[in-house]
Amino acid sequence: MFRPLPENVSQVATLGAGPIGAGWAAHFLARGYHVAAYIHSMDELDAFEQILDAGWVSLEAIGLAEGASRQNLTVTDNLETAVSNAQFVQECAPERLELKQALYTRLDKYVADDIVIASSTSGLTMTDIQKDCNSAHRTVIGHPFNPPYLLPLVEIVGGKKTDPKAVAWARDFYTCAGKAPLVMNKEIPGFVATRLQEALWREALHMVANGEASPQDIDTALINGPAPRMAVQGQCMAFHVACGEGGMATNLDQFGPALKLPWTRLQAPELTRELRNRMVDGCEQAASDRHFTDMVAERDRAIVGILKAVEKAKL
Amino acid sequence: MFRPLPENVSQVATLGAGPIGAGWAAHFLARGYHVAAYIHSMDELDAFEQILDAGWVSLEAIGLAEGASRQNLTVTDNLETAVSNAQFVQECAPERLELKQALYTRLDKYVADDIVIASSTSGLTMTDIQKDCNSAHRTVIGHPFNPPYLLPLVEIVGGKKTDPKAVAWARDFYTCAGKAPLVMNKEIPGFVATRLQEALWREALHMVANGEASPQDIDTALINGPAPRMAVQGQCMAFHVACGEGGMATNLDQFGPALKLPWTRLQAPELTRELRNRMVDGCEQAASDRHFTDMVAERDRAIVGILKAVEKAKL
């Protein structure tokens, strides 16, 4: 229904000259795609290229795909020119609903309706963005994390009028493009990653407001404590593995009462049997048949590498 | 007042056979200290040594201090023997208040009162632990993050009866011992790192309870999104640097209203002028005279290293 096959895409369009638009352009170029970048005004070209320059250093360090070249980039301030041959469109316009709605009605005309269009928005829903759009079925959220040329996450979710096949196509395309897609079934504000980050951020602001910690204390705590482990295992598997043979079941059954302790200002959910089982089953599926001692060893190898990488980057 | 000078410590005692006690023993051995480890029963020796074995692999990979050797370890189930020559005591007994209170009254007798004793507790306050103790002035919290042989963070805070000089001594000692100490001025439940992690964890449980994400979704989002950046810059500097020339001031002035959005179930604090300025001043001090473009480049080098380290650890 949507074309071409995700693995056959060779030409993409990015819309926007900011860190997200330019960051996506850099990423797609590094993965070997031809990129047509639309920027609102050629006055933004310098800023756009500066972000590309910064991103390219890291992308080369990671390793470029075969045939990848900055020569495969064209930049234009003509929207129709940018998208007319695109096999996928990554929209990164400013976060204003009316502006995005107007943009999507223009894309109706310029982009064949079996081509998927993804929005990088972090704060709006696709149901709202696609409201006035005649080709709403092919529009999805494809939300990256800054910097988009480095962090692999892309959160994907459709709006009310989105065809589920467009969501599936986007997931497959982002996988081909070297990203780590996360498909969501519900449109919730902030998606998954920003909600988690925001909970932490609000608690940090509470602590600074109460004189309990300085911004530097917050960062010292994160950098030297939970963050390196979280970069390796997330939070569910970190607890699952730390509890040894008992895993997440031990964590929840033993430390569940600690959810009632005044650690953070966020009220905890009721730890129902159903929630407990969802957590336990999810972790056991993710662990598959790996023994926790192997996972501890892998975690530790990765943390050693992370600590060394962070130190080395300072030189 | 407390002795010896932090840089002259050569003999430490660890109390406890669990992952924290054995983890601390491994760390101190790797930093070249002589360690006397007290375990409650010699039946725990196998478990203690298994943790030591696992930790030692990583500690060797990071690089041992000169003179570091597992030969410098003695293990005993006699508390007095373990602590009688200690120049510092790291207590890692089970998290039961009555048990710790009783332990500290025994340490009164066995450890000279100018030797600092630190508790690894994550859930109790030193004010409660030291209540019945005659040498409360030298007792502090020294809370590590699991695994303690790898993650550098140690949160330090005294109880009501603690001499501030003991807190300062502990900070200097942990620095000599290769740790990243974070001194807190207020005793708050969960200290800094656990509060932040717990806010995120509660939001994760809410999402799983509501069917908005699976445990694996939570981890995918963290591992590929916020966590690698958080391991490099924490959260305050991540926002400060991402906002370019404007830094944290731009972040709060521009995105402050987003605190009112329903991203997470955690109510945000009021963004007062005072809070805004504390955040801005803190970030500017931490950035010192570094330009944000240099900090972006350093961040990106570190993230490249992290992504490679995480990948390599899987093999």
Taking residues A222-243, report their average pLDDT: 92
Residue A159 shares a structural domain with residue A292: no
Residue B193 exposed, middle or buried by CB count within 10 Å (0-12, 13-18, 19+): buried
pLDDT interval class at A293 (50, 70, 90): confident
Taking residues A18-43, report their average pLDDT: 97
Taking residues A226-249, report their average pLDDT: 90
Q: pTM for the whole thing? A: 0.93
Question: Domain for residue B267, yes or no?
Answer: yes
Tokens for A136, please give them: 């709403």
Residue A121 shares a structural domain with residue A232: no
Residue A25 shares a structural domain with residue A170: yes
Tokens for A5, please give them: 């096959």
Question: Domain for residue A199, yes or no?
Answer: no
Interface test with B, best of A192, A237, A279 (most B CBs within 10 A): A192
Question: Domain for residue B20, yes or no?
Answer: yes
> Number of helices (H) and strands (E), helices first, in chain B?
13, 8
Query: Is residue B142 within 8 Å of B170, Cβ to Cβ?
Result: yes
Q: Which of B183, B204, B237 is the last residue of a domain?
A: B183
User: B9 to chain A, minimum CA–CA distance in Å?
Assistant: 23
- Give residue for tokens 């000692």: B173
Query: Is residue B262 within 8 Å of A19, Cβ to Cβ?
Result: no
Residue B239 shares a structural domain with residue B170: no
Question: Domain for residue B18, yes or no?
Answer: yes
Question: Domain for residue A244, yes or no?
Answer: yes
**How would you list the strands of the sheet with B153-158, edge to edge?**
B73-76, B34-38, B11-15, B89-91, B117-119, B139-144, B153-158, B180-183
- pLDDT of B272: 84
Residue B231 shares a structural domain with residue B178: no
Residue B163 shares a structural domain with residue B237: no
Report the distance separating Cα B155 and Cα B120, nearest Å: 9
Residue B11 shares a structural domain with residue B123: yes
Q: Tell me the three state secondary structure of residue B254.
A: helix
Residue A40 shares a structural domain with residue A120: yes
User: B179 to chain A, minimum CA–CA distance in Å?
Assistant: 9
B259: left (phi over 0), alpha (psi -120 to 50) or beta: alpha
Chain-chain contact of A226 with B193 (C-beta, under 8 angstroms): yes
Report the distance separating Cα B167 and Cα B186, nearest Å: 12
Stretch 159-178 of chain A: residues touching chain B, C-beta under 8 Å = none
| pLDDT at position B315 over 80 | no
Stretch 188-217 of chain B: residues touching chain A, C-beta under 8 Å = 188-209, 211-217
Residue B109 shares a structural domain with residue B55: yes
Q: Among residues A157, A158, A151, which one has the least CA distance to residue A180?
A: A151
| Closest residue in B to A225 (Cα–Cα) | B153
Question: Domain for residue A56, yes or no?
Answer: yes
- pLDDT one-digit tens code per residue, B54-112: 999 999 998 999 999 999 999 999 999 999 999 999 999 999 999 999 999 999 999 99
Q: Is B234 on the interface with A (CB under 8 A)?
A: yes
B64 is in which domain, residue-wise? 6-183
Q: Is B232 on the interface with A (CB under 8 A)?
A: yes
Q: Which of A123, A154, A183 is the last residue of a domain?
A: A183
Strand partners, A11: A34
User: A5 to chain B, minimum CA–CA distance in Å?
Assistant: 25
Chain-chain contact of A307 with B223 (C-beta, under 8 angstroms): no
Stretch 63-122 of chain B: residues touching chain A, C-beta under 8 Å = none
- Give residue for tokens 């009310």: A160
- pLDDT of A315: 67
Question: Domain for residue A59, yes or no?
Answer: yes
DSSP B95: S
Q: Is A290 on the interface with B (CB under 8 A)?
A: no
Structure-model confidence comparison of residues B168 and A250, the more confident one: B168
* A258: Cβ contacts below 8 Å, ≥ 6 apart: B123
Query: Is residue A82 within 8 Å of A36, Cβ to Cβ?
Result: yes
Task: Report how many domains make up chain B.
Answer: 2
Chain-chain contact of A309 with B310 (C-beta, under 8 angstroms): no
Angle (CA) B31-B17-B166 rounded to 5° is 55
Q: Is A306 on the interface with B (CB under 8 A)?
A: yes
- pLDDT one-digit tens code per residue, A160-192: 999 999 999 999 999 999 999 999 999 999 999
Q: What is the distance in angstroms between the CA of the first residue and the CA of the last residue of chain B?
A: 51
| Closest residue in A to B187 (Cα–Cα) | A212
Q: Is B231 on the interface with A (CB under 8 A)?
A: yes
Give contacts of B213 with chain A, Cβ < 8 Å. Answer: 184, 192
Mean pLDDT for chain A overall:
93
Say how far residue B4 (Cα) sits from the centre of its chain.
24
Chain-chain contact of B182 with A221 (C-beta, under 8 angstroms): yes
Report the distance separating Cα B145 and Cα B154, nearest Å: 7
Report the distance separating Cα B269 and Cα B278, nearest Å: 14
- pLDDT one-digit tens code per residue, B268-312: 778 888 888 888 888 888 888 888 888 888 888 888 888 888 888
Q: Is B312 on the interface with A (CB under 8 A)?
A: yes
Q: Which of B19, B234, B258 is nearest residue A123 as measured by Cβ atoms?
A: B258
- pLDDT of B26: 98
- Name the residue type at position B223: I
Taking residues A120-132, report their average pLDDT: 95
Residue B244 shares a structural domain with residue B294: yes
How large is the angle between the packed helices A193-209 and B193-209, nearest 10 degrees?
140
Q: Which of A183, A211, A239 is the last residue of a domain?
A: A183
CATH of residue B64's domain is: 3.40.50.720
Residues in chain A: 315
Residues in chain B: 315
Report the distance separating Cα A147 and Cα A202, nearest Å: 22
- pLDDT of A284: 86
- pLDDT one-digit tens code per residue, B208-252: 999 999 999 999 999 999 999 999 999 999 999 888 888 899 989
Taking residues A254-271, report their average pLDDT: 82
- Give residue for tokens 């309990």: A212
ipTM for the complex shown = 0.94
Question: Domain for residue A18, yes or no?
Answer: yes
User: A182 to chain B, minimum CA–CA distance in Å?
Assistant: 7
Give contacts of A215 with chain B, Cβ < 8 Å. Answer: 236-237, 248, 278-279, 282-283, 286
User: A108 to chain B, minimum CA–CA distance in Å?
Assistant: 30
Q: Among residues B2, B8, B306, B3, which one has the least CA distance to residue B177?
A: B8
| pLDDT at position A133 over 90 | yes
Residue A101 shares a structural domain with residue A230: no
Q: Which of B147, B152, B201 is nearest residue A300 as measured by Cβ atoms?
A: B147
Residue A86 shares a structural domain with residue A139: yes
Taking residues A84-102, report their average pLDDT: 96
- Give residue for tokens 């926002």: B239
Q: Over chain A, what HEC string results?
A: CCCCCHHHCCEEEEECCCHHHHHHHHHHHHCCCEEEEECCCHHHHHHHHHHHHHHHHHHHHHCCCCCCCHHHEEEECCHHHHHCCCCCEEECCCCCHHHHHHHHHHHHHHCCCCCCEEECCCCCCHHHHCCCCCCHHHEEEEEECCCCCCCCEEEEEECCCCCHHHHHHHHHHHHHCCCEEEECCCCCCCCCHHHHHHHHHHHHHHHHHCCCCCHHHHHHHHHHCHHHHHHHHCCHHHHHHHCHHHHHHHHHHHHHHHHHCCCCCCCCCCCCHHHHHHHHHHHHHHHCCCCHHHHHHHHHHHHHHHHHHHHHHCC
